[in-house]
Amino acid sequence: MESLGKNRLIHRKITSITLALLLGAGGIAALPPTALAAAPSNGTVSSTRSFPKQSVVRADPFQESVSTDVQSDADWGGIETVAS
């Protein structure tokens, strides 16, 4: 009986190793077709900055940035205009 139990363990181990190797080989075999599926790019790729360069280092990086400009004549509406 003991040899039957050992044979089962050996069989399971061999089966799991074989399955892992086959799945790994299948995954590697799928890489080239995936990489070749992308459209070829014949043009040059370049980028430009769409905002001005900021090179000023702030003296206090923990200072909160807030706006204190208030428009006294601004009309933002009220609750009456939202409810209608």
User: In this predicted model, what pLDDT tens digit does every residue of 22-42 receive, in sequence order?
Assistant: 999 988 888 777 767 767 767
Task: State the DSSP code for 30.
Answer: H
In-domain check, residue 14: yes
In-domain check, residue 82: no
Q: Is the pLDDT of residue 18 over 90?
A: yes
Q: Which amino acid is at 25?
A: A
Q: Which residues contact 71 (CB under 8 A, 6 or more apart)?
A: none
**Number of domains making up the chain:** 1
In-domain check, residue 59: no
In-domain check, residue 69: no
Whole domain around residue 15: which residue ranges? 1-27
CA dist., res. 15 & res. 75, Å (int) = 76
What mean pLDDT is predicted for residues 58-73?
Answer: 71
CA dist., res. 32 & res. 82, Å (int) = 58
What is the pLDDT confidence band of residue 49, given thresholds at 50, 70 and 90? confident
In-domain check, residue 43: no
In-domain check, residue 50: no
Q: What predicted TM-score, i.e. pTM, was given to this entire model?
A: 0.37
In-domain check, residue 12: yes
